[in-house]
Amino acid sequence: MGAYGAYVWSCFVLTAIVFLICEWRARLRQRQVYRDIEVRVKVLGGRQ
C-alpha cells in the first residue's frame, strides 16, 4: 500500500466502526423499547 497505507486503512477501519455503532445503537434502542412494553404488559398487567 506504500505511503498511502495509513490514509486508506484509517478510512476502512473508520467505516467498520461506524457500521458497528449503527448496529449496536439499533439493537440497544430495540431492546429498550421492547423491555419498556414488556414491563408494562407483564408486570403492571397492561394498565396505564
Closest distance of CB 24 from another protein, Å: 11
Q: Per-residue x/- mask for another protein, residues 1 to 40, rule CB under 8 A?
A: xxxxx-xx-xxx-xx--xx-xxx-xxx-xxx-xx-xxx-x
How many Cα atoms are found within 13 Å in the side-chain-facing hemisphere of 47?
A: 3
Total binding residues for another protein by CB under 8 A? 32
Specify burial of residue 7 (Cβ count, 10 A radius: 0-12, 13-18, 19+).
Answer: exposed
Residue with cell 497505507: 5
Cell of 21: 455503532
Binding site for another protein (CB under 8 A): 1-5, 7-8, 10-12, 14-15, 18-19, 21-23, 25-27, 29-31, 33-34, 36-38, 40-42, 46
